[in-house]
Structure 1
Amino acid sequence: MTDAPGRLPSSLTLVGAGKMGGSMLAGWLAGGLDPRRTTLIDPAPAPEIVALCEARGLGLNPAAPPASEVVVLAIKPQGLAAAAPALDALLGPDALLVSILAGKTIADLRTRLPSARAVVRAMPNLPASIGRGATGAAANAEVSADQRDRADALLAATGLVEWLADEALIDAVTAVSGSGPAYVFLLAEALAEAGVAAGLPPETAARLARATVAGSGALLDGSPVAADALRRNVTSPGGTTAAGLAVLMRADGMAALLREAVAAAKRRAGELAG
């Protein structure tokens, strides 16, 4: 888990401003990143990204990108090979490369980007855009204490950071917290659909499901009590919640499905390394 974050980088280049890159950028700007020393490189930026750059004074696709203290790589992992020559040109001898590419190892990055020396591999998630993200990160031996401090400040500006001693654990982080928001959104979606099947109007079911998932998450976040204890605290023996949990907690229920889902996502993260 991260300690108190240090200062944000004095200059930053973000390569790729899709859902994840754009979400992180929003978190960094909210956390005090200097937009005048921030460069964004994206061949097809979304209209909202273009508007953000114009409003805040970020450099968007300059002909000659300036050297930056930190370069953040947020393109699709499948595009790394084709983009590698242009990306390598962005890396000065003292630059820190922070990659959020699923499945792309530090060794792979250094092979494809010969100028990359100090590398942090990180896996954030979408709630980074509201400062409630969860990120796992690992650094190679060339990352100095000061560079790790810069990386930690960047990642902590978007939420929780867990530094990993073993880079191999990143694929598991990808499968749990990286993909996890989609699992939670699916829970809200499925709960609303179940409410409709039980007789509720669709709009009412959707509102109740959304508020229940959001409120329960806030309660879990704000409580020192473990998740299993909170579950037991709201489950009266022989009551309605117990009846529902008896279905969800059977051998082929939610826990088994999530284990299978996380295993599939982890496996896919490994495949993306190829």
Structure 2
Amino acid sequence: MERIVVVGAGHMGSVIVRGLLDGMPRVEVVVVEPSAERRASLDGGAEVAAAYEPRPDDLLVLAIPPQAFDSFADGLPPGACAQATVVSVMAGVRLETLASALGTGAVLRAMPNLASRVGQSMTVLCPGDQVSTGGMERAKGALSVIGKVLVVQDESLLDAATAVAGSGPALVAYLAQSFTDFARGAGFGTHDALLLTSQVLRGTADVLAEPGVTPESLYQQASTPHGTTAEGIATLREHRVGESVRAALEATTERARELAG
């Protein structure tokens, strides 16, 4: 039976484990969590261990904080990861660092986002040069249980992915706050204001996913000359909202590069 080992039972690790249990019932799922308190709080369905005991052909998912990686790697027996495929969801830990510390070139980096908790993550996945086609497909399949997966070959793109996919939900939520504030100011209750905003975002995302639709084609289609939408788009342009959003994404990307060293 295929075995997937998730190291770390924090927020992201727990989300991945739940997704694996629900979406890949024929896979053996093991959770490695050093904290006894956190182990005791885990739901059933997965085997739970305090330390990683390697087996050949494991798919090893590292969902630990980046600052805990050195300690984890130092505690492994020699050659523990030699036959494993390792997927890291640790922000900022480069492929070269992973390969050197773990003693294997079969390493991949993944950048999921907070929408993973509702199965709608946009995860960007980058394989190292020594990852086999089979290892790539296993990693992609495992991460597909929490949402969509986009594979890139250029590791430098992960910094921009951190901005667009990783920080994107928070940036969108910041903008959504303006929608809900406006609706509440117009007289809607808090619940209804959030319903209006969340459904607008959900419906817009679904329309953008249709073949041939782009953001520009969508807002142009909705903008009747001299109409309400056209007036709104003109005001956004006047206040340079698009430039502000791009500046925020550029700042986030630069910060990701700094954190990665």
Alignment of 1:41-120 (within 5 A): 41-44=32-35, 50-52=41-43, 54=44, 56=45, 58-62=46-50, 65-67=53-55, 69-86=58-75, 91-111=80-100, 113-120=101-108
1:215 alignment partner in structure 2: 203
On the 8 A contact 2:85/2:135 being kept in 1, the answer is yes
TM-score (norm 2): 0.87
The count of residues paired between Structure 1 and Structure 2 equals 260
Shift of 1:90: 8.7
Letter matched to residue 113 of structure 2: N
Shift of 1:223: 5.1
In structure 2, do the counterparts of structure 1 residues 164 and 119 end up closer, same or farther at CA, with 3 Å as the change threshold? same
1:243 alignment partner in structure 2: 231
Letter matched to residue 108 of structure 2: V
1:259 alignment partner in structure 2: 246
What is the aligned counterpart of 2:155 among 159, 167, 181?
Answer: 167
Structure 1, unaligned runs of 5 or more? 1-8
Distance in 2 (CA, whole Å) between partners of 1:256 and 1:157 is 35
1:138 alignment partner in structure 2: 126
Shift of 1:151: 1.3
Following superposition, which runs of at least 4 residues in structure 1 exceed 6 angstroms of deviation?
A: 45-49
- Deviation string 1:170-189 (CA, Å, 9 cap, x unpaired) is 11111111221222222322
Distance in 2 (CA, whole Å) between partners of 1:219 and 1:201 is 27
Give secondary structure in 1 for the equivalent of 2:30: strand
The answer to whether residue 8 in structure 2 is matched with residue 16 in structure 1 is: yes
What is the percentage of aligned positions where both structures have the same residue? 32
Letter matched to residue 133 of structure 1: S
On the 8 A contact 2:63/2:89 being kept in 1, the answer is yes
Give secondary structure in 2 for the equivalent of 1:249: helix
On the 8 A contact 2:207/2:213 being kept in 1, the answer is no
Alignment of 1:163-242 (within 5 A): 163-222=151-210, 224-242=212-230
On the 8 A contact 2:32/2:51 being kept in 1, the answer is no
On the 8 A contact 1:73/1:99 being kept in 2, the answer is yes
In structure 2, do the counterparts of structure 1 residues 14 and 63 end up closer, same or farther at CA, with 3 Å as the change threshold? closer
In structure 2, do the counterparts of structure 1 residues 89 and 245 end up closer, same or farther at CA, with 3 Å as the change threshold? farther
Shift of 1:130: 3.5
In structure 2, do the counterparts of structure 1 residues 77 and 173 end up closer, same or farther at CA, with 3 Å as the change threshold? same
> Bigger relative contact order, structure 1 or 2, given CA contacts below 8 A and separation 6+?
1
- Deviation string 1:123-166 (CA, Å, 9 cap, x unpaired) is 12233344332222221222112211211211233332222121
The answer to whether residue 28 in structure 2 is matched with residue 40 in structure 1 is: no
In structure 2, do the counterparts of structure 1 residues 172 and 240 end up closer, same or farther at CA, with 3 Å as the change threshold? same
Distance in 2 (CA, whole Å) between partners of 1:188 and 1:258 is 13
Distance in 1 (CA, whole Å) between partners of 2:257 and 2:51 is 35
1:273 alignment partner in structure 2: 260
In structure 2, do the counterparts of structure 1 residues 28 and 222 end up closer, same or farther at CA, with 3 Å as the change threshold? farther
Distance in 2 (CA, whole Å) between partners of 1:48 and 1:130 is 23
The answer to whether residue 21 in structure 2 is matched with residue 29 in structure 1 is: yes
Shift of 1:99: 0.7
2:111 alignment partner in structure 1: 123
Across the aligned residues of Structure 1 and Structure 2, the Cα RMSD in angstroms comes to 2.7
On the 8 A contact 1:28/1:157 being kept in 2, the answer is yes
Shift of 1:47: 7.0
Shift of 1:40: 1.0
Structure 2, unaligned runs of 5 or more? none
On the 8 A contact 1:39/1:65 being kept in 2, the answer is no
Distance in 1 (CA, whole Å) between partners of 2:40 and 2:26 is 16
Letter matched to residue 271 of structure 1: E
TM-score (norm 1): 0.83
